[in-house]
């Protein structure tokens, strides 16, 4: 039996290896198409394990399996350039731009294809996504509460856009989370419709819970965190919490808020376990960063399988990819402008956790994660940062305007700056990953 760390490592190597391989395959195929000689195409990095030469290209299997690379004739600054038509610098600016852009574009196309496959195989989604958007919780003093939204309200539309289920609501709020705006919520209560004006502010994180309303979440233990107070107190998966210190609890948010408010204080839980009513005492552990109490429990997360016929799978898969691309661009804009928390940036550990967890739950979920990461790789590589494909495209655009290439010295300076930016970003992302692990 593989350990969790080993499984996560293997899955991460597989996912990133496949996606980077297809990225390099895009460069390779486009270089061949425009007539540039590819000297090497390697699956993996580092020392060569085996290799075979065909058509002037050496195809390699290298020692480190994470990704790969292509080496084109005349591509490197120290290459001896003879002015041959099959050398990289000899091709037109537009041809070279096509070669450079092909890698990220293949990643984006792969994301669309994988997403269509996911919806064809069947995709696990939260059960509440398929349920009617009936409000089951409204936070006291929240934006929703102040606007007049109440438990039991059925959300019919938002800004005249129909809301048939909770997924529609989540997608709408997430798409709108980057701007300050007042929305018209058409709701139904006791067979009477009314319009509620609910203001979105820049502090909203793109989740209805940030606005103070939510779907129904049973206060039922779905998972226990080893070593935390809940496990030590004797709570079990499936326990339904009915009261905390004698106060009735009907929603998971109420449960979590009451626990959060009592760090290092004894709390009496009344739980229903099958046909028995039990009373347990637990002392929430102090989470230093947020100064809240935690007992180490997670809610139940019922899932349902969505499967579509081939043509429908393509339509819904492409729609999902479109939504993810739009969210990626909006998130990048929010991070750059400071409107999104930089703590949400994840690194290799976060990728390993997401991919490893997805692998445990099935091939379809793993393919969904691969599609999501592939889309992000494509977008990030097109960013105009020196050392990335987008930065090289900028150099080629300048060359096309000035009718001469940017000097080697200026390119080296820009690429060094870009390298420092990427390294700092990776260090910051890795720091976020570590802090998330420490904070639980």
Q: Which is catalytic among the residues 24, 75, 87, 330?
A: 24
List % helix, strand, coil for the chain (3-state, nearest 5): 50, 25, 30
CA dihedral 59, 63, 65, 69 (to 10 degrees): -40
Q: Is 140 considered catalytic here?
A: no
**Burial readout 335-344 (b: 16 or more C-beta within 10 A, e: otherwise):** eeeebbeeee
Rounded distance between C-alpha atoms, residue 27 and residue 329, angstroms:
23
Query: How is residue 356 written in tokens?
Result: 């490893």
Rounded distance between C-alpha atoms, residue 256 and residue 258, angstroms:
6
Rounded distance between C-alpha atoms, residue 209 and residue 434, angstroms:
26
Rounded distance between C-alpha atoms, residue 420 and residue 425, angstroms:
9
Helices (H), 62-189: 93-121, 143-147, 166-176
Query: How is residue 150 written in tokens?
Result: 């109440």
Integer CA distances (angstroms), 33 to 91, 96, 204, 382, in order? 12, 11, 47, 21
Rounded distance between C-alpha atoms, residue 420 and residue 46, angstroms:
22
φ, ψ dihedrals at 79, nearest 5° = -70, 145
φ, ψ dihedrals at 299, nearest 5° = -75, 165
Q: For residue 406, count CB atoms less than 10 angstroms from its CB and return exposed for 0-12, middle for 13-18, buried for 19 or more.
A: middle
Q: Helices 93-121 & 389-402, crossing angle to 10 degrees?
A: 150
**Residues tagged active-site:** 24
């Amino acid at each position: 039996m593989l350990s969790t760390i080993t499984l996560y490592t293997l899955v991460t190597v597989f996912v990133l290896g496949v996606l980077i391989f297809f990225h390099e395959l895009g460069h390779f195929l486009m270089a061949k198409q425009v007539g540039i000689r590819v000297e090497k195409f390697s699956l993996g990095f580092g020392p060569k394990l085996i290799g075979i030469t065909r058509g002037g290209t050496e195809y390699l299997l290298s020692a480190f399996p994470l990704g790969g690379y292509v080496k084109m004739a005349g591509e490197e600054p120290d290459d001896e350039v003879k002015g041959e038509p099959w050398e990289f610098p000899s091709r037109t600016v537009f041809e070279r731009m096509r070669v450079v852009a092909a890698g990220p574009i293949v990643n984006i196309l792969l994301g669309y294809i994988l997403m269509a496959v996911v919806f064809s195989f069947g995709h696990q989604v939260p059960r509440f996504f398929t349920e009617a958007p009936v409000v089951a919780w409204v936070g006291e003093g929240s934006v929703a509460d102040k606007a007049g939204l109440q438990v039991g309200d059925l959300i019919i539309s938002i800004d005249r856009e129909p809301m048939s289920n909770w997924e529609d609501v989540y997608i709408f709020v997430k798409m709108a989370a980057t701007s300050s705006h007042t929305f018209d919520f058409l709701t139904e209560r006791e067979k009477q419709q009314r319009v509620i004006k609910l203001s979105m502010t820049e502090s909203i994180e793109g989740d209805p819970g940030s606005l103070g309303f939510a779907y129904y979440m049973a206060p039922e233990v779905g998972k226990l965190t080893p070593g935390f107070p809940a496990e030590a107190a004797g709570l079990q998966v499936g326990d339904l919490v009915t009261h905390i210190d004698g106060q009735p609890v009907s929603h998971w948010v109420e449960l979590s808020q009451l626990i959060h408010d009592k760090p290092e204080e004894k709390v009496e839980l009344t739980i229903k376990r099958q046909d028995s009513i039990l009373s347990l005492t637990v002392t929430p552990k102090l989470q230093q960063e947020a100064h809240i109490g935690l007992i180490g429990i997670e809610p139940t997360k019922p899932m349902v399988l969505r499967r579509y016929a081939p043509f429908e799978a393509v339509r819904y898969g492409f729609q999902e990819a479109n939504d993810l691309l739009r969210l990626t661009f909006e998130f990048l804009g929010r991070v750059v402008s400071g409107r999104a928390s930089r703590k949400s940036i994840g690194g290799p550990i976060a990728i390993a956790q997401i991919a490893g967890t997805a692998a445990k739950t099935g091939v379809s979920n793993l393919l969904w994660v691969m599609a999501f990461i592939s889309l992000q790789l494509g977008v990030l590589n097109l960013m105009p940062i020196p050392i990335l494909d987008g930065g090289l495209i900028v150099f080629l655009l300048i060359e096309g305007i000035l009718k001469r290439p940017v000097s080697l010295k200026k390119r080296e300076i820009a690429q060094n700056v870009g390298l420092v930016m990427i390294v700092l970003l990776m260090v910051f992302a890795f720091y976020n990953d570590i802090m998330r692990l420490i904070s639980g």
